[in-house]
Structure 1
Amino acid sequence: MVTPRGAAFEPPDMHVPDVDTTGGPPLRLPLAHVVVGLGFLLAGGGLGLLVLAGRLDGIARLAPLHLLLLGWVCVTIMGAMEQFVPVWSGVDLHSRRLADAALCLVTAGVVGLASAALFGRPRLLAFGLFAVAGLWVFVYTLCRTLPFGDVTERHFGYALCALAVAAGLGGLLAVDYSVPVLTRVGLSHVAVRSAHATLALLGGVLLTVVGALVQLGPMFVGSGDLDATARRLVRVEEATLPAGVVALAAGRAVAVASVARLGALFVLVGVCCLGAVLVRVFLAEWTEPTPTATRYAVVTTGLLLWVVTAGSTLLAAPLETGIVGPPAAAWTFGLALAAVLVGTLYHVVPFLVWDHRYADRLGYEPVPMVDDLYDRRVARVDFLGLVLGGAALVAGSGLGRHDVVVWGAVVGCAALTLAALNLAGVVWSHAPRDWPATGRVGGASE
C-alpha cells in the first residue's frame, strides 16, 4: 500500500485511506475551498447551459468558463494541495494566513471576471487581477512548502510553475481589453489567450492531476504499489508531459506550428503513459467499486479516449484547433477532469470530516463509517448521470447533433449538482460545528 511518510491512521474494519491528517492544516482550510468551489460549480454549470441553449454569447461565454475552470477546478485543487502536501510530504504548510488570503483573492477575481463578462463590460475584466494575485500567493505558499522530492511533489512543482505563468498571461489578457499592451510587444491577443489556456489546462490542472493519480490511484483503487513497468512508464511521462506543455504553449504564443506540434506529441505520449499506468493499477489491484475507484476508472478511460479523439487534430493543426482538440475531444477531457475531482472529493471530504468529528470517539461509542457520511444511492445516481451525460456530449459533438449535446449537458450538470449537494450534506450534517473558525491545531506557521 502506498502510504504517506508520516504514521498512518487506519481505524479497524473501516474503509479509509492511509492518511494521517494530524500534520495537516485545520479543517476549515480545505472545507472552505470545497464549499466555495462547489458554489462556483453550480453557478458555472447553470450559465454553461444557457450558453449551449444560445441564451448567452459573445464575451458572456467567458463567465461560465472561468466559473468552472478557475472557480471550481482551480479552487478545489488549491484546497486539495494545501491539505495533501503537508500530509503526504510530512511538512508544515508555509502559512495559513497566505492560504486564506489566496482563497479570498481568487474568489473575488472569479466573481469580478464573471460579472464583467455577463454584463458585457470588457474593461472590468481587469478585476481578474485579483485572481492573478491570489494564484501567485497560492503558488508562493506551496513552493515554500513543497520539498520537491518524489514524483508527486515534482509534478506539483511543474503545475505550480505553469499556473503562475498562466495567471500572469491571464492578467495581461484582462488588461489588454482596456489598454492594448500585447500589440505593443508584437503579440496577438488570440495567440496569448491560446497559450494562457494551454498552460492553465494542460499545465496547472493536468499536471496536478497526474501527480496526484500516481499516488492516489494505487491507494484508492487497490492495496499495492506501482510495479516496475508502471514506474518506468511514469518516468517516460515525466520526461515528456511537462516539456510538451511548455513547447505547446510557447509554440502557440509565438505562432510557430513546428514547436507546438512537437509539444502536442510529447503531451499525447505523456498522457498515454499515465493511462497505461492506471490501466495496470486497475487490472492488478481492483478491490471494490467505491465512488472514488469508479470515477478513477472514468478518468482512465476518458484520458485515453482524449488521446484518440484529439491526437490527429492536435498534431496536424496545433495552432488552429481548440486548446485540447476538437469539441468531442474537449468534452472528453472535461469529463475526465470532472470525474477525477468528484471522485477525489468523495473520499477526501468524508474522511477529513470523519477524522475531525469521530476519530477520537472510536472505541468509546458507536460512530458511523466514513462511507456512511454521504448518501450512497445519490453517489450511484450522480455517477451514472456523469457517465451518460458525458457520453452524450462526446457523441453529440462528434456527430454534429447539438440537441444531443444540450441534453448531455443537462444530464451532466444534474449529476454534478447531485454530487455537490451530497458532499455539502456531509459538511452540513457531520462537520464539527466550529469548523469555519477553528480546527485541529497543526504545526503550520501563521
Structure 2
Amino acid sequence: MAVADQAARRGDDPRSAVRAVHDLFVAGQIDASHLDTVPVRRVVAESWQRSLATGVDPDRGGAEQPATRTLDELRASHPLAPALPVIRRLLVRDASEAGVVVAVTAADGTLLWVEGDPHALRRAEAMNFAAGADWSERRAGTNAPGTALALDRELQIHGSEHFSRIVQPWSCTAVPVHDPVTGVLLGAIDLTGGAEVATAQTLALVRATAVAVENHLALLALTRQVAPLTTRPRLTVLGADRPRWTVTGADGRSHPSTLTGRHADILVLLSRHPEGVSADRLAMMLNDNDLDAVTIRAEVSRLRRVIGADRVASRPYRLLAPIDSDAADVLDALRRGDVAAAMNAYPGELLPQSVAPAIARLRTELSTSLRASVLATGSLALLRRWLDLPEGRDDREGWRILHDSAPGYSERATARGHLAGLDLDIG
C-alpha cells in the first residue's frame, strides 16, 4: 500500500496522481486491490483491469481492423450512415475550428468517420485514431468511445485515465447511439480534443446530438413502415444469424429490421396460430413460469413499433395478414415431398437461442421431421448435407448409415472416425 499511497500523494495536480497510479499499475507494482484506495474513478479502474486482462499494449493506440470488408462497404451498410449529415451539422461544423475531432464508431469499436480540425486530425492519426481503426476497449484499452460501447453508457475520459500512454494527452466524451425501434446498440458519437472536451457542457452537446440522430433514424424507420409494400413481409428465424423482419417497398428495395429474440418468438407463434392466442396462453408459450399480462402487452407494443402497428391485432393476439418465413418454406417443401428443397431452405435450427417452451417444441418438430424425411429418401447426398448441419454432427444413426452405405473408402473412413469420436463422448 505504501507505493499506492505515494502515487496518490505525488504532486498537487490530481491528473499527475492518476498518471502515477497508472504507471505503477501497468508496471505491476500495484494491483487491482489498490485501485479502490487511490484517486482513480471506479469506472476507469475497472476498465484498466479489463484492458490489462485482455493484453492491451499501454504504449499503442488503436488497432488495424482485419480487411474482411473495405471501409467504404462498412460505411455504406452501417445504420448510422443516413444520420451523418445531422452529426456534421451539430458537431463537425464547429469542431473544424475548435481544435477537436468528431468520431462516429460502429458498435464493435471500428471508427467509421473521423472529421474535424485539420491539425487535430493529423495529431490523432499519429496514434491511429483514424477511420478504419479498431478503438474498442479490448483492442485500444480505456478510451471514451471504446469503453462507452463496452458499458453501453455515456462516458468522459480525462487525459491520464486512458490506458494507452500515447492517448493520455487527449480527453474525450462519447455517447452510445441505439436503434430507436429495437433498442439495439448501433455505435457511438465521440468528441476528442483537449481537457475542454471532458466537461459537463460537452457531454450535454454530444448527448443532444445522439438524441437528434436517434430521432432522425426513427423518422426514417417510420417512413419505411408506411411505404407501400409489393410483397408479403418475410420472417427469417432459421440458423445462427439474428432473426430478421424484411419488407419490400414499392421501389423494389428490401428493408430488413433485426428482431429481438422475444419478438421473433412472438411472431413465430402467431404465424403458427392464425386463429390467435390470448395473452395468458402467449405467456405460457413464452415462459415456463408464465409472464404477467402487463409484460406481454409491453412486448407486443414494442413489436408493433418494429413491424407496424397494423400488423398485430389484440384480443386475441393474431397477425392481421399472412407473412412468409424460412421456417414455413421448409414445412411447405416437406408437405410437397420435396426434401431437397426443404434442405435448401434449412440453414439450421429454429431460433436456436430461444428458451421459450413452445419454440423449443416447434424447433424439435421441424428438425425431427426434416431428419426423418432425409433418411427416408435414401439419398446419400441429402444425408451428407444433413450431417454437415450443427444438429447432424451428433446424429449417430445418420453417421452409421453413411458409413455402411458410402461407396468410397475416404467417406467411410471419415464416418468411422466421427462415430469413434461420438462413442468416446458418450463413454
TM-score, structure 1 length as denominator?
0.26
Higher helix share: 1
Structure whose CA Rg is larger: 2
With normalisation by structure 2, the TM-score equals 0.27
Higher strand share: 2
Higher relative contact order (CA 8 A, sep 6+): 1
